[in-house]
């Protein structure tokens, strides 16, 4: 098609519009998948301010399952809003956030052991050694559960430097 016909038929502006629309949709899609901030010491949803996507951190210990918290039972701690399913869980967390909060700020310990920070998913979790760990992938959870000490040794060695980077 000649340039004259392209201009006559409006083909160039149409392509430009489609390309712009595709770029905007791609950016919108990326934004939705990156809802959790990964530049802070604690993984927090950047839109809601909720830690661990509103799941009750105490329920992992008491109920041995992931349970969503409710807005009626919230507490602010470490720059995030934490939700709980009942008052007793909220009180337990408020008294001991270092015990009930996810280790490594909710970042995946497998990734931390590799020297990178990737937010964990509250649906992929393990409680070991009376501590909660969240994982970005189900495969990471399975590998960690099979040999937690192997990953914890490396993750604990790398975490201080990564934590320092996150604070900048």
Same domain, 19 and 64: no
Same domain, 29 and 44: no
- Its sign, for the CA torsion 100, 105, 108, 112, is negative
Same domain, 25 and 63: no
Instruction: Find the domain containing 21 and state its range.
Output: 3-33
Same domain, 90 and 10: no
**How many CB atoms are located within 10 Å of the residue 154 CB?**
16
Same domain, 108 and 123: yes
pLDDT score of 13? 59
Same domain, 17 and 57: no
Residue 167: band (very low, low, confident or very high) from pLDDT cuts 50, 70, 90: confident
Same domain, 58 and 140: yes
Same domain, 27 and 101: no
Average pLDDT rounded to a whole number, residues 126-144: 96
pLDDT for 139-149, tens place per residue? 999 999 999 99
Nearest to 127 by CA among 154, 151, 101, 105: 101
pLDDT for 101-114, tens place per residue? 999 999 999 999 99
Higher pLDDT among residues 101 and 8, named by residue: 101
Mean of the per-residue pLDDT values for the chain? 84
Same domain, 114 and 88: yes
- Residues 54 and 33: their CA atoms lie apart, in Å, by 17
Same domain, 89 and 22: no
Same domain, 50 and 26: no
Give how many domains the chain has, as a whole number: 2
3-state SS assignment for residue 115: coil
- Residues 126 and 65: their CA atoms lie apart, in Å, by 10
pLDDT for 28-57, tens place per residue? 443 333 344 444 789 999 899 999 999 999
pLDDT score of 4? 59
Same domain, 10 and 46: no
Whole-prediction pTM value?
A: 0.76
């Amino acid at each position: 098609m000649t340039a004259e016909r392209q201009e006559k038929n409006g083909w160039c502006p149409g392509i430009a519009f489609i390309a712009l629309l595709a770029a905007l949709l791609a950016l919108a899609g990326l934004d939705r998948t990156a809802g959790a901030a990964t530049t802070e010491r604690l993984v927090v949803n950047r839109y809601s301010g909720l830690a661990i996507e509103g799941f009750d951190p105490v329920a992992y210990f008491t109920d041995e399952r992931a349970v969503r918290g409710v807005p009626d039972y919230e507490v602010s701690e470490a720059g995030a809003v934490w939700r709980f399913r009942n008052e007793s869980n909220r009180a337990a967390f408020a008294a001991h956030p270092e015990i009930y909060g996810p280790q490594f700020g909710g970042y995946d310990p497998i990734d931390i052991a590799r020297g990178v920070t990737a937010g964990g998913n509250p649906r992929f979790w393990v409680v070991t050694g009376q501590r909660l760990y969240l994982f970005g992938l189900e495969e990471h959870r399975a590998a960690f559960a099979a040999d937690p000490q192997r990953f914890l040794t490396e993750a604990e060695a790398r975490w201080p430097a990564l934590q320092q980077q996150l604070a900048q």
